[in-house]
Amino acid sequence: MSNVVSFHTYKLKEGVSKQDFLLAVEKLIQEHISKQKGYVSFQLLAEGDTWADSVTFKTKDDFNAFLETENQMTAEMEKFASFLDYDTLTNNTYSVEKSY
């Protein structure tokens, strides 16, 4: 089975602190996402005021199990979500065809 990557792009809400956002991301990864079965990696990217993140899981089943945990909002998830401008959010999921 190939890895699965969930890729999001978004902007932050007006007036939020970049440093506070980065701390919220770090805590979300440490306390929740990295503890999920099949977790491989997380990347946070930025260009200007647009942010992107990708999270990779070993299998589609692992990713689907992770999605089920998102229905049970943790404090870390709520904090992260509070920074996002949801009008700018895009979400795509990909299977890795080939890694080089």
In the chain, what are the domain boundaries?
4-95
Residue 13 is given by DSSP the state P
Write the pLDDT tens digit of every residue in 31-71: 999 999 999 999 999 999 999 999 999 999 999 999 998 77
What is the architecture of the domain spanning 4-95?
2-Layer Sandwich (3.30)
pTM of the predicted model over 0.85: yes
Tell me how crowded residue 78 is: count the other CB atoms within 10 A of its CB.
11
The pLDDT value given to residue 73 = 83
On the question of pLDDT at 10 being above 80, the answer is yes
Closest CA to 29 of 94, 65, 76, 89: 76
